[in-house]
C-alpha cells in the first residue's frame, strides 16, 4: 500500500550459522527494540525451507502522517484524563464526538488528582480498507503520578494500559482518527460510547447542562446560577435529592456533573424528550480526607422551547441515592 513503507530484505547466513544469527538477535533484544520504534508495524523473520541458510526479513512502517494522527489522538486522551475541565483544542486529527468522549472519560476519573504522565503508544496490525481508510490496533501504556486525596498534588505512581482499535480516514487536512473501540483497559470505566453521534443541538445541550448544574448547586449548598432552567416541581425535586445526598455523604464540599451516552432524541413541535446518563461527581469528607465519589444516573428529560429560544426542563424521570423522581410536564 502507498500509505506504508514495506521492506523485504533477503539474508544469506554463513553455512550452518542461521540459527545462531537469529538466537543472537533475540538474546540481545534487537528484534523487540526495533518493534518498539515509532511507526514500526511489522518486523518479522521468515526461514526458507529450500535453503537452510536463507532468511527473509519483512519490515512495515507507518507513514509520518498516520503516526502523528495516532500520537496526537492518544496524547489528547491523556490530557483529558489529567485536565477534564479544560477544553480540548479542535485539531484535525480527530472528530468532535471523540473529543467529547475523551472529556467524559477524563471526568469519569476525576476523583483522582493526576500529575506527570509518561505515554508510550505502539501501533500494530494495520488493515487497509481502501487507500483512504485504515484500521490500526494501538497499545497505549501510561505511567502517572496520582493521589486520591484532593488536598494533595503528589502521591503514588500508577501504570495502566489500554488496547484501542482505531479507525483512520484520510481527509483534506490529513489522516484523522474517526473511531476508537477500546475493548480492553486497566482503567475502570474506560469504555467506548460515552461520546455519541446523536448528540443534541447546542441550545438543547445548554438547557440540559443548566438543569444538571442547578441540581449540583443545590446538593452542594450553592445558589443556582439559572433557576429558570426548569419548572418549580423540578426545583423542589432538586432539594429532595440534596437531602438524600446529605444522608449518603454527610459533609459535601462540591458536586459536578456531565451528560453522556445520549440516545436518539424525540421531538414533537416545541417539545423534545432526551434519554441520557448523567455522570455525577461528589466531593465529600471520607475517612478524614476530602475524596470524590462518582455515580451514574439515567434520565429521561422533557424540555420545552421558551419564547426567548432557550429550552426549559419540564419533566424528569430518574432514581439516585435512594431518591426517585417522576415529574411529568
Residues 6+ apart with CB under 8 A from 137: 123, 124, 125, 163, 164, 165, 166
CATH fit for domain 64-185, picks 3.40.50.150, 1.20.120.80, 3.10.450.50, 3.50.50.60: 3.10.450.50
Give the separation between CA 312 and CA 327, rounded to whole angstroms. Answer: 14
Alpha-carbon distance of 279 to 259, in angstroms, equals 6
**φ and ψ at residue 307, rounded to 5 degrees:** -65, -25
CB crowding 32-61: b at 16 or more within 10 Å, else e: eeeeeeebbbebebeeeeeeeeebeeebbb
Per-residue pLDDT tens listing for the chain (329 residues): 456 667 777 777 778 888 887 887 788 777 887 777 666 778 888 998 889 888 888 877 766 777 778 878 877 877 776 666 677 777 788 887 788 778 777 776 655 555 555 666 666 667 778 878 888 877 777 666 655 554 555 556 666 667 788 889 988 888 899 888 775 444 434 445 555 667 788 899 999 999 999 999 999 999 998 899 999 999 999 999 999 988 888 788 888 888 888 888 999 999 999 999 898 888 888 777 777 777 889 999 999 999 999 999 999 999 998 999 999 99
Q: Which one is the CATH code of 4-62: 3.30.70.100, 3.30.1490.20, 3.40.50.1820, 1.10.3720.10? A: 3.30.70.100
Q: E strands, 152-306, where?
A: 156-171, 174-185, 252-260, 266-268, 271-286, 289-305
Backbone angles phi, psi at 123, to 5 degrees: -75, 150
Percent of the chain with pLDDT strictly greater than 70: 78
pLDDT confidence of residue 24: 79
Task: Domain 202-327: state its class.
Answer: alpha beta
In the prediction, which pLDDT does 181 show?
78
Residue carrying the nine cell digits 480540548: 88
- What is the reported pTM? 0.64
Query: What are φ and ψ of residue 78, in 5° steps?
Result: -75, -35
Amino acid at each position: 500500500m502507498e500509505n506504508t513503507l514495506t521492506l523485504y530484505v533477503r539474508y544469506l547466513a554463513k553455512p550452518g550459522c542461521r540459527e545462531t544469527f537469529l538466537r543472537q538477535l533475540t538474546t540481545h533484544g534487537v528484534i523487540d527494540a526495533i518493534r518498539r520504534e515509532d511507526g514500526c508495524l511489522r518486523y518479522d523473520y521468515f526461514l526458507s525451507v529450500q535453503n537452510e541458510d536463507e532468511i527473509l526479513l519483512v519490515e512495515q512502517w507507518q507513514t509520518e502522517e498516520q503516526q502523528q494522527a495516532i500520537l496526537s489522538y492518544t496524547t489528547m486522551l491523556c490530557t483529558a484524563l489529567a485536565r477534564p475541565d479544560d477544553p480540548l483544542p479542535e485539531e484535525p486529527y480527530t472528530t468532535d464526538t471523540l473529543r467529547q468522549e475523551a472529556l467524559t472519560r477524563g471526568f469519569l476519573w476525576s476523583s483522582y488528582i493526576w500529575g506527570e504522565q509518561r505515554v508510550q503508544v505502539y501501533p500494530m496490525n494495520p488493515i487497509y480498507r481502501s487507500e483512504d481508510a485504515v484500521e490500526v490496533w494501538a497499545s497505549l501504556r501510561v505511567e502517572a503520578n496520582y493521589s486520591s486525596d484532593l488536598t494533595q498534588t503528589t502521591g503514588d505512581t500508577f501504570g495502566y494500559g489500554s488496547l484501542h482499535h482505531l479507525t483512520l480516514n484520510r481527509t483534506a487536512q490529513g489522516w484523522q482518527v474517526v473511531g476508537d473501540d477500546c475493548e480492553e483497559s486497566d482503567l475502570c470505566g474506560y469504555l467506548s460510547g460515552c461520546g455519541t453521534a446523536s448528540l443534541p443541538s447546542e441550545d438543547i445541550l445548554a438547557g440540559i447542562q443548566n438543569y444538571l448544574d442547578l441540581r449540583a448547586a443545590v446538593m452542594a449548598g450553592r445558589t443556582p446560577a439559572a433557576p429558570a432552567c426548569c419548572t418549580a416541581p423540578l426545583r423542589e425535586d432538586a432539594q429532595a435529592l440534596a437531602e438524600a445526598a446529605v444522608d449518603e455523604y454527610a459533609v459535601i464540599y462540591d458536586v459536578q456533573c456531565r451528560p453522556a451516552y445520549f440516545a436518539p432524541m424525540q421531538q414533537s413541535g416545541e417539545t423534545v424528550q432526551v434519554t441520557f446518563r448523567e455522570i455525577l461527581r461528589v466531593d465529600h469528607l471520607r475517612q478524614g480526607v476530602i475524596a470524590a465519589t462518582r455515580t451514574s444516573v439515567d434520565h429521561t428529560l422533557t424540555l420545552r422551547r421558551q419564547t426567548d429560544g432557550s429550552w426549559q426542563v419540564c419533566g424528569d424521570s430518574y432514581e439516585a441515592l435512594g431518591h426517585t423522581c417522576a415529574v411529568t410536564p
